[in-house]
Amino acid sequence: MRRGARSRIPWLVDVAAAAVFVASAVRSRSRQVGPTEERIFRTFNNGPDAAFFPVWPIMQMGSLAAVGVAAAIEARLRRPAIPVAVVGTAVWAGIKVAKAPVGGRGRPAFLLEGVHVRGEPQTGLGFPSGHAAVSMTIAGITSVGRPLWARAALHAGSTATGTARMYVGAHLPLDVAAGWAVGRLAGQMGRRLVVDS
C-alpha cells in the first residue's frame, strides 16, 4: 500500500466512527430495539452465569478508575500520562452529561423481556456506553508508539469491555457501538497530544 493511501486510513476510520455515532443516536432516539440489535444482544447476554467472575474485571477497563491506572502506568514508563488522564476523564464525564440529550434510551431490562442482569443493576440511561467509550479512549491514546501486538491487545481489551457490558445486561449493541465511536474520536485527539508532548 502506498504511503499516501496509508495516511488516509485513520481519517477514513474517524469519518466512519462519526457516522456510526450519528446513525446509532438517531436509532436510539426511537426508544426501540430492532430484531438484529436484539439478536446480537441476546448472543452475549444469554452467556453462562459462571462467566461473570472473569468478566467483571474486564468491564473495569471502562471505568474512571481505569483512567487513573492507565495514566499511572504511562507515567511509570516515562510516557505522556496527562493526555490519558485529561481526555479519559473528559470522556467519562462527557458521556454522563450527553446521555439524555443525545440518546435518551433506557437500559436493556426496561426495553426487553427476559434480560439477564448480572451484578449491580444499572440505573439511568444506556446510550451511549461510557465503559465502551472510556476503554476505547484509553486504548487509542496508550497505543501510541507501542508494537503491533500491544496495540492489538489494548484494542481487544476495549472490545471485550463493550461485549461484557452486554453480557451483564447493562447495554444494548448500539449503546456499545456509539461508545466505541466516541472513544475512537477521543483517542485520536489524545494521540495528537501524546505526539506533541
Domain boundaries, the chain: 3-196
Please report the pLDDT score of residue 170 as a whole number.
97
The pLDDT score that the predictor gives to residue 30 is 84
Residue 174 has pLDDT above 90, yes or no: yes
**What would the mean pLDDT of 103-123 be, rounded to a whole number?**
91
Residue 48: is the preceding peptide bond cis (ω within 30°)? no
The domain defined by 3-196 folds into Vanadium-containing Chloroperoxidase; domain 1 (1.20.144)
Q: Do residues 45 and 169 make contact, with C-beta atoms less than 8 angstroms apart?
A: yes
For residues 143 and 155, give the distance between their C-alpha atoms in angstroms, rounded to a whole number. Answer: 9
Residue 12 has pLDDT above 60, yes or no: yes
pLDDT of residue 7: 57
Quote the pTM value.
0.91
